[in-house]
Amino acid sequence: MTESLITAILIFTLASFTGFEIINKVPPTLHTPLMSGSNAISGICVIGAVLVAGAELDPSVSTVLGVVAIACAMVNVVGGFLVTDRMLQMFKKKES
Amino acid sequence: MTQQMTQLVDTLTAWAPSGIQISYLVAAACFILGLKKMGSPAMARQGNFIGAIGMLLAVLATLIDQHILSYSMIGIGLAIGSVVGVWLAKAVAMTDMPQMVGFLNGLGGLASTLVAVGEYWHSRSHDLPLSSAAVVSIAASILVGNITFTGSMVAFAKLQGIISGTPLRFAFQQQLNMVLLGAWAVGAGLLIANSGDLAGFAGINVISLLLGVLFVIPIGGGDMPVVISLLNSLSGIAAGATGFVVMNNVLIISGALVGASGLILTQIMCKAMNRSLPSVLFSGFGTDGGSTGQGAGDALNKTVRQVDPEECAMMLGYARSVVIVPGYGMAVAQAQHVVRELADTLERKGVEVRYAIHPVAGRMPGHMNVLLAEANVPYTQLCDMDDINPQFENTDVALVIGANDVVNPAARHDTKSPIYGMPILEVDRAKHTVVIKRGMSAGFSGVENELFYKEKTMMLFGSAKDAVNRLVNEVKQL
């Protein structure tokens, strides 16, 4: 358990540094789409929600909690990616 | 034949866990690649698409996990969430993006908490042992998730105007927060000592929900760009904490990426407003009364030069270069479309037109750029503060529409001004400055703007939409 915890902390730290490096280069023009796009990515906890919701054969308290979590995270994922696309679509170079 | 089939199924079952892990790795790579492509307007849309593919892959891979025993409920959750998500993304107005992002942050936080609570409940009802590391992860996930949830919902309500945007403060607010944090730590301690302690479990939930509310209510509407960025970061950290609960690497990686992204934006916003993060969080702007900046105003020469649309149109039409400085007032008046029409008309006359955008021009980072892009302004004309400031000296006319504090020269030299030190757009260095404004009222910070009294400044009074409309007509007649 401790070993896997340390590996997890290691991964978290390295990913944070990666995040800082990539996002520092995003120009201010794109900060709003960056925010809604990264928001969609944070909806990744839908995976955890799926595992919790599917863990039991008969619906129980934890199943219900999991299903609500799936719905919330999916709003985040679908809404986030789509609205980001809607915004980015509007960023155009000069039309000829 | 049947034997072959069983063999195939057996092999697939044996390989499934590795397959899932590899899919997660690919998904994480997609997220990193997608975010990297967000670095250029030309590639960003593709980057967003790559991110979405990564997400789809991760979800599909999870569905083949052997620990999943029932699919019907999962399907219901996925369907409801997707429908609501599609509807939200289609319905939201671009001016409402800050609320939308705030709301989505909140849902992300709630989802993280629910996963942690669900995991706890599952272990409890099956008498599965929980290690202390797992309990700590669950407690942390609940803390961050709930703060993100209620904090974002309060921010959403403030931005949407459901509750007042003015900071709400009371005596011993800081001390109360400290006591609550302490109580949370006690609850978490009880839970670690005995993972079955229901009172401790309920306690940390209630306390963290309360902390989220208390964290955002003392923050004023003007500081919302900082808060939204910070909550964005927290929603990532919440997802990362959930990753520790279910021990899943792709959650940890994605959470860390989003956490870092939100933190960078928070930092940028604080710098643009010349405030430290603690001062945003713990001391509201303008709470020390309306007396700010009065001393400086008296010393100014109070003459204001007015200009009519006809004369202003001449200045613009015969200029070589014009820089438009849009503020949130322009977006509120929905004037961005007429502004673009003015820019187009001027360009046809051979005038070089650019837009100077202050980082806090909108209600969230980069908001103004999106609003202008919506009005079909090409992104090549949108200039960041650092790029445009050295060029004001060679600009014939700087046209300020609905911006105030971000063009106040007092920020450069008046040490008594509350906005002293804030980076501004240096429109007063242009050969002429025209300010379109309804009247002489002060800006958001309550500070009087000495730009309006400068010799090179001319005021064009009227609402943004009307004034620019008249300018378009006059320029066309030149």
pLDDT at residue B22 greater than cutoff 70 = yes
In a domain, B214, yes or no: yes
| Residue A3 near chain B (CB below 8 Å) | no
Residues B268 and B383 in one domain: no
State the best of B370, B382, B383 to mutate against chain A, taking most chain A CBs within 10 Å. B370
Confidence of residue B416 (pLDDT cuts 50, 70, 90): confident
Q: What is the pLDDT of residues B220-251, one digit of tens each?
A: 877 888 899 999 999 999 999 999 998 899 99
The whole-number average pLDDT for the span B312-331 is 91
CA angle B236, A26, B344 (to 5 degrees): 125
Across all residues in chain B, what is the average pLDDT?
A: 89
What pLDDT, on the 0 to 100 scale, is given for residue B283? 66
- What is the number of other CB atoms lying within 10 angstroms of the CB of residue B163? 13
Same domain, B362 and B393: yes
Model confidence band, residue B291 (pLDDT cutoffs 50, 70, 90): very low
Residue B233 included in any domain: yes
The whole-number pLDDT of residue B195 equals 86
Q: Where a domain ends, among B282, B303, B326? A: B282
B343-369 average pLDDT score: 91
**CATH number, residue B443:** 3.40.50.1220
User: Does the annotation mark B405 as catalytic?
Assistant: yes
Which residue is associated with the tokens 């060029």? B391
Q: What is the mean pLDDT of residues B377-396?
A: 93
Cβ pair A79:B365 closer than 8 A = no
**Letter for the amino acid at B372?**
L
| pLDDT above 50 (res B122) | yes
Element of type H or E holding B107 = helix B97-125
User: Are B137 and B209 in the same domain?
Assistant: yes
Q: Is B242 among the domain residues?
A: yes
Domain check: are B372 and B424 in the same one? yes
A19 touches chain B (CB under 8 A): yes
For the segment A92-96, the average pLDDT, to the nearest whole number, is 71
State the pLDDT at residue B1. Answer: 61
Type of residue found at B77: G
Same domain, B243 and B353: no
Is B346 found in the same domain as B462? yes
Q: Tens digits of per-residue pLDDT, A53-80?
A: 998 888 889 999 999 999 999 999 999 9
Nearest chain A Cα to B374, which residue?
A: A90
pLDDT for A89: 93
Same domain (yes/no): B384, B340? yes
Q: Determine, yes or no, domain membership for B316.
A: yes
Residue B17, pLDDT score: 87
Of B251, B282, B313, the one marking the end of a domain is B282
pLDDT attached to residue B381: 92
For residue B76, being part of any structural domain is answered with: no
B186-212: pLDDT as tens digits = 999 999 998 888 899 999 999 999 999
pLDDT at B292: 41
Record: contact B85-A80, CB cut-off 8 A? yes
Extract long-range pairs of B266-271: CB within 8 Å, 24+ residues apart.
Answer: B266/B226, B266/B229, B266/B230, B266/B233, B268/A28, B268/A31, B268/B229, B268/B359, B268/B365, B269/B225, B269/B226, B269/B229, B269/B359, B269/B360, B269/B365, B270/B226, B271/B359, B271/B423
B269 and B187 assigned to the same domain: yes
Which of A31-35, B131-135, B168-172, B318-322 comes out lowest in average pLDDT? B168-172
Q: Out of B405, B414, B428, B466, which one is annotated catalytic?
A: B405
Q: Quick check: A19 and B257 CB within 8 A?
A: yes
A78 touches chain B (CB under 8 A): yes
Query: B231 and B316: one domain?
Result: no
| pLDDT of residue B439 exceeding 90 | no
With 50 as the cut, is the pLDDT of residue B16 above it?
yes
Closest CA to B261 of A38, A14, A45, A77: A38
Query: How far apart (Å, rounded) are the C-alpha atoms in residues B409 and B429?
Result: 10
Q: Per-residue pLDDT for B287 more than 50?
A: no
Q: Which of A22, A25, A41, A68 to mutate to test the interface with B (most CBs of B within 10 A)?
A: A41
Q: What is the pLDDT of residues B37-75, one digit of tens each?
A: 999 999 999 999 999 999 999 999 999 988 888 888 899
Query: Is the domain of B324 the same as that of B431?
Result: yes
- Report whether B437 contacts B459 (CB < 8 A): yes
Residue B286 tokens read as 């303008």
Cβ–Cβ pairs < 8 A, chains A and B: 405
With a cut of 70, say whether residue B294 has pLDDT above it: no
Domain-embedded: residue B81: no
Of the candidates B45, B248, B265, which has its C-beta nearest A89's C-beta? B45
Q: Within the 52-71 window of chain A, which residues sit less than 8 Å (CB to CB) from chain B?
A: 52-63, 65-71
- Which chain B residues are closer than 8 Å to A83 by Cβ? 88-89, 92, 97, 100
Confidence band, pLDDT 50/70/90 cuts, at residue B259 = very high
What domain range includes position B141? 92-282
Residue B255 has a pLDDT of 95
Q: Tell me, yes or no, whether B197 lies in a domain.
A: yes
The model's pLDDT over B88-107, given as tens digits with 9 standing for 90+, comes to 999 999 999 999 999 999 99
| Pick among A38, A58, A85, A87 to test the B interface (most B CBs inside 10 A) | A38
Q: Please list, residue by residue across B322-338, b when 16 or more beta carbons sit within 10 angstroms of its beta carbon and e when fewer do.
A: bbbbbbbbbbebebbeb
Instruction: Give the DSSP H or E segment for B387.
Output: helix B385-388
**Is the pLDDT assigned to residue A8 strictly greater than 80?**
yes
Q: What is the DSSP string of B113-126?
A: HHHHHHHHHHHHHT
Asked if pLDDT for residue B84 goes beyond 90, the answer is yes
Q: Are residues B342 and B472 in the same domain?
A: yes
pLDDT for B295 equals 42
Total domains in the fold of chain B: 2
B282, B306, B334: which is the final residue of a domain? B282
- Say yes or no: B273 and B303 in one domain: no
The answer as to whether B153 is a domain residue is yes
pLDDT attached to residue B118: 94
